[in-house]
Amino acid sequence: MTDVVKWLKENGNLKIIEEPLDVELEIPHVAYIEVKKEDSRPLLFTNPVSKAKGITYDIPVLMNIFANKEITQKIFGKHPDDIAQGIDELMKLKPPHGFLAKLAMLPKLFALKNVFPKRLNGRGECQEVIYSKKEVDLDKLPILKTWEEDGGPFITMGQVYTQSLDGKMQNLGMYRLQQYGKDRLGLHWQIHKDASHFFDQYEKAGKKMPVTVAIGGDPLYIWCGQAPMPHGMFELLLYGFVRNQNARLVKSITNDIYIPHDVDIVIEGFVDPTQREIEGPFGDHTGYYTLKEPFPVLDVETITMRKNPVFQATVVGKPPLEDKYMGWGTERIFLPLLKPMAPDLIDYNMPENGVFHNLILAKMKTLYKGHAQQFMHAFWGVGQMSFVKHAIFVGEHAPDLENHEKLTEHILNRLEKSKILITHGIVDHLDHSSPEQFVGGKLGIDATDDEIEKGVEELISDAVLLEKMQQIDENICEVKQYMIHTKTPVCVISVAKKESQKYMISKLHELKKHIKLLVIVDKANNELGNSYMLIWRVANNIDAQRDIVLEPFIAIDGTNKDKHDRYDREWPGDTFCTKEVLDRLQAKGIIDIDETFIRHFGLLPFK
Ligand SMILES: Cc1cc2nc3c(=O)[nH]c(=O)nc-3n(C[C@H](O)[C@H](O)[C@H](O)COP(=O)(O)O)c2cc1C
């Protein structure tokens, strides 16, 4: 894995694009479109340029390394389920009885010696070229600007290495970094993340915090950086466990942080805890822009690199994206780590169109009344799982969690108002729907019981239902009913919103016998026939406490919120591609997409 490009050529069907393309929008748009294809491939851009800055870079850009499940599995070296099994066995390790049992345990114990990172003396390959403070120039790196409204260029696949004030804890986190000029980077470590906790310690002590950012090397480093390891556990332990080989580290040149010897590029420096700078906006993995917010800044002391480095980057925006495949690995590998707090959990799935923290589906064996509710609270109380907004639990005989069609049927046949838990708790730093940042509504659905008896009283066609609805409220534009063969058909409507939807829902009470579950979205930029993107939209846009009502039927208001909803934060916009850039790339033959593709993935605003 020391030469990732060679490895990807041999193992990953790497596509090489030699055409000079701009780091601003062009390269990111190509990667964004590629990863949405069924057969998506990793991409190497050998001639990145910046037209705005007049730069021709001599470092190629490597994107979509985690382009599909097959490559992701090859990066791990085995199926993530096998890694999970190894973790499970380790967690269940018991003292051996008898000589043979002791012998059988030896390989497991010896393998553990490979888990701990090793500190090497001397310099690593990543320090073959050294730029001193005077020579530091971030413009030497092909840093991408992904979206038109982004606040600037961002390093999107940076491995951010930090340590606690007393030096006893190390951390690797994948956080984006905004480029400010030639030698400063904005550090977007969110408030709940480990590096942010370390930062608090330095701030309290009034000391500068050392930070080293590594780019490239073994892609497993980057996967470890995004893995939700418990606080205090260095992510490179996981690297050693998966590779069965210690991560080999060298010391940064100007601070005490250790980084893998074989990464491509290293940016070292210090953070002055008294300084903050506006970070963002940034088109984020929620498919919405994250708005401007002050974050700490890294003053770069030194940049080092290999002789022929490669710049790894990713694009975030609307799903599906590379994080779908990284997230798949994380979901599988972390299953055994969830089991100690939820022992009767059988499996879980975080669909990528729920952008991970917005929706979790979990299968469990129920042993007593309230068991599913117990698990909901357990999930909402632990580590990064606590950011999950909507959790649906099904019983042990439910269909496979990845069979979304069958599973939805199963849930809708068991959906009951009395089994819906709406509560309040911590939400992800990026959540834009809650009335207040960091805390908001949580929804838990217990669908572990038997089928409910009563379905919808009188099912009518979409056309007739629309007519009846429009007689009540002319702002209702379209109706589409899903899953009409189940006990709870899903009636989705689009509206030209002019008031709080609460009024509209109460006005629709007279249609109660035709509706059991109503979902409302804005007419703009939503297509009622596209359930994949509807789930993405609604899971993003709702705060369960404000936007779900249970009378006269279950209704979910997935519209954008504004003053009518007593929402006084700034509502962010969708991430959209730039039409001229798409047209230019299409004319050059670099991309090949049609209107259906553009609409399906919401690439451009709807006309
Ligand atoms: C593509 C991608 C980009 C991410 N960007 C950020 C980011 O800018 N800030 C952040 O706090 N977390 C970000 N994350 C999530 C963190 O990497 C993840 O929560 C990780 O577990 C944090 O590590 P920590 O618990 O050691 O802080 C990103 C994840 C991915 C996959």
pLDDT tens digits, 415-452: 999 999 999 999 999 999 999 999 999 999 999 999 99
Q: Is the dihedral of CA 405, 408, 34, 238 positive or negative?
A: negative
Whether 462-565 and 340-447 are alike in CATH topology: the answer is yes
* pLDDT higher than threshold 70 for residue 1: no
State the distance from the centre of ligand 1 to the C-alpha of 489, rounded, in angstroms: 37
What b/e sequence results for 29-65 when a residue is b if at least 16 CB atoms lie within 10 Å of its CB, and e otherwise?
A: bbbbbbbbeeebbbbbbbebbbeeeeeebebbbbbbb
Render pLDDT for 300-331 as a digit per residue (tens, 0 to 9): 999 999 999 999 999 999 999 999 999 999 99
Strand 43-45 relative to strand 55-56: parallel, antiparallel, unpaired? unpaired
∠ Cα 263 267 272 (to 5°) = 145
The strand ranges marked E within 310-354 are 311-313, 345-349
pLDDT the model gives residue 512: 97
Tell me the domain boundaries of the chain: 115-313, 340-447, 462-565
CATH number of 340-447: 3.40.1670.10
What's the topology of domain 462-565?
UbiD C-terminal domain-like (3.40.1670)
Q: Whose CA is nearest to atom 29 of ligand 1?
A: 226
Q: Is 23 in the pocket of ligand 1 (CB under 6 A)?
A: no
DSSP E strands: which ranges in 531-592?
A: 548-549, 554-557
Counted residue by residue, the chain has a size of: 607
| Per-residue pLDDT tens digits for 230-259 | 999 999 999 999 999 999 999 999 999 999
The count of other CB atoms within 10 Å of the CB of residue 160 is 27
Residue 528, helix vs strand vs coil: coil
Ligand 1 and 194: CB distance under 6 A: yes
pLDDT(93) > 90: no
228 lines ligand 1 (CB under 6 A): yes
> What is the pLDDT at residue 85?
94
pLDDT at 150: 98
* Pick from 500, 606, 487: nearest CA to 549: 500
Pocket test for ligand 1, best of 160, 175, 215 (most atoms within 8 A of CB): 175
Average pLDDT over residues 7-30: 97
For a mutational test of ligand 1's pocket, the pick from 169, 226, 325, 356, i.e. the residue with the most ligand atoms closer than 8 A to its C-beta, is: 226
| Cα–Cα distance, 53 to 559 (Å, whole number) | 40
Model pTM?
0.96
pLDDT digits (tens, 9 = 90+) for 439-495: 999 999 999 999 999 999 999 999 999 999 999 999 999 999 999 999 999 999 999
Whether 159 is in the pocket of ligand 1, judged by its Cβ within 6 Å, is: no
Which CATH number, 3.40.50.800, 1.10.150.120, 2.30.110.10, 1.10.3720.10, labels domain 115-313? Answer: 2.30.110.10
| pLDDT tens for each residue of 506-532 | 999 999 999 999 999 999 999 999 999
pLDDT band at 90 (very low <50, low <70, confident <90, very high): confident
The CB of 428 under 6 Å from ligand 1? The reply is no
Quote the CA–CA distance of 541 and 520 in Å, as a whole number.
Answer: 11
pLDDT band at 351 (very low <50, low <70, confident <90, very high): very high
State yes or no: pLDDT of 216 exceeds 80: yes
Which residues partner with 289 through β-bridges?
283
**Would you state the pLDDT for residue 2?**
64
The residues, ordered by sequence, that sit 6+ positions from 106 with a Cβ below 8 Å of its Cβ are none
How many angstroms is it from 50 CA to the middle of ligand 1?
27
What is the distance, to the nearest Å, from the Cα of residue 456 to the centroid of all Cα atoms in its chain?
A: 36
157-213 residue pLDDT tens: 999 999 999 999 999 999 999 999 999 999 999 999 999 999 999 999 999 999 999
pLDDT at 546 over 80: yes
Can you tell me the distance from the alpha carbon of 480 to that of 547, in angstroms, rounded to the nearest whole number? 20
pLDDT of residue 100: 80
Amino acid letter, residue 194: D
Range with the poorest average pLDDT among 29-38, 92-101, 175-184, 373-382: 92-101
Q: What is the pLDDT of residues 95-116, one digit of tens each?
A: 788 888 888 777 777 778 899 9
Sorting pLDDT into bands at 50, 70 and 90, what band is 289? very high
| pLDDT value, residue 103 | 80
Helix (H/G/I), strand (E/B), else coil: 386: helix
User: Which of 172, 174, 192, 235 to probe ligand 1 with, by most ligand atoms within 8 A of CB?
Assistant: 174
Tell me the C-alpha distance between 569 and 187, whole Å: 23
SS3 313: strand
Has residue 30 got a pLDDT over 90?
Answer: yes
Average pLDDT, the chain: 96
What pLDDT score was predicted for residue 305?
A: 98
Q: Across residues 11-28, what is the average pLDDT?
A: 97
Is any atom of ligand 1 closer than 6 Å to the C-beta of 386?
no
**pLDDT over 70, % of the chain:** 100
In order, the DSSP letters of 229-285 are PPTT--THHHHHHHHTS--EEEE-SSSS-EEETT-SEEEEEEE-TT--EEE--EE-T
Q: Cα(227) to centroid of ligand 1, in Å?
A: 8
